[in-house]
Amino acid sequence: MRNVLAIVLAVVGSIAVTGSASAGDRTVKIRAIEGAYRVPMKFPDTGTVPDLTESRLQIFRCTDHSVYFFTELAFAADHQCSLSGIAESDKGALIYREDSCTLRIVADGKRIGFSDPKESCSSRCSARGHFDGIGFAMTSRRGTTKTDRSKIAAFDGEVWKRCRGRTRN
């Protein structure tokens, strides 16, 4: 009887943590990571002002299992990466796939960041830019505004419309 009770408690605990009783289903808690993240960049004085002076990531909920994201990453010597699109929740990460680019967005409670170990998204970066290993402290998160959404709609209208078409309250 104790073994049965232990199994029931383990399953109930699993449901509380992951939101599902199925093994291996680690659903991303979209509402917990939705928002805007920014990190100011400090570069050595080279006599020129870089175009991008901060790295940023914005995440907007489409559904409980998908987001629209926009990121610009700043590196020294005015190198940068830029990418936006819809990412789907899969095995504890948000996965963006387009053409040969597959980017994982992973949050661990303290940090949200990118995984691109094969550099499949490097075409979205200048010479010294990369996505793999770049991240933001969760403490840098702030809410998004109507102005943020308007800028995204103007910048990436068709993809934004696909996201908004998926939205359920």
Checking if the pLDDT of 161 tops 90, the result is no
> Considering the domain boundaries, does residue 15 fall inside one?
no
Question: If you average pLDDT over residues 57-65, what whole number do you get?
Answer: 92
Bridge partner residues of 40 (DSSP): 54
CA–CA dist 33, 27 (Å, integer): 12
> Considering the domain boundaries, does residue 62 fall inside one?
yes
Helix (H) or strand (E) holding 30: helix 30-33
Checking if the pLDDT of 16 tops 50, the result is no
For residue 76, give both structure tokens.
């020294």
Task: Tell me whether residue 94 is exposed, middle or buried, using C-beta atoms within 10 angstroms of its C-beta: 0 to 12, 13 to 18, 19 or more.
Answer: buried
> Looking at residue 47, what is its pLDDT?
59
> Looking at residue 50, what is its pLDDT?
53
Residue with the larger pLDDT of the pair 62 and 14: 62
> Considering the domain boundaries, does residue 16 fall inside one?
no
pLDDT tens digit string along 71-122?
Answer: 999 887 778 999 999 999 998 999 999 989 999 999 998 999 999 999 999 9
**Residue 114 C-alpha from the chain's centroid:** 7
> Considering the domain boundaries, does residue 41 fall inside one?
yes
Specify the number of domains making up the chain: 1
The band of 127, judged by pLDDT with boundaries at 50, 70 and 90, is confident
Q: What is this structure's pTM?
A: 0.76
> Considering the domain boundaries, does residue 158 fall inside one?
yes
> Considering the domain boundaries, does residue 9 fall inside one?
no
- Which domain does 152 fall in, by range? 28-166
> Looking at residue 79, what is its pLDDT?
85
Helix (H) or strand (E) holding 166: helix 157-166
Query: Going by C-beta distance under 8 Å and a sequence separation of 6 or more, which residues neighbour residue 53?
Result: 40, 41, 74
Residue with the larger pLDDT of the pair 35 and 42: 35
> Considering the domain boundaries, does residue 79 fall inside one?
yes
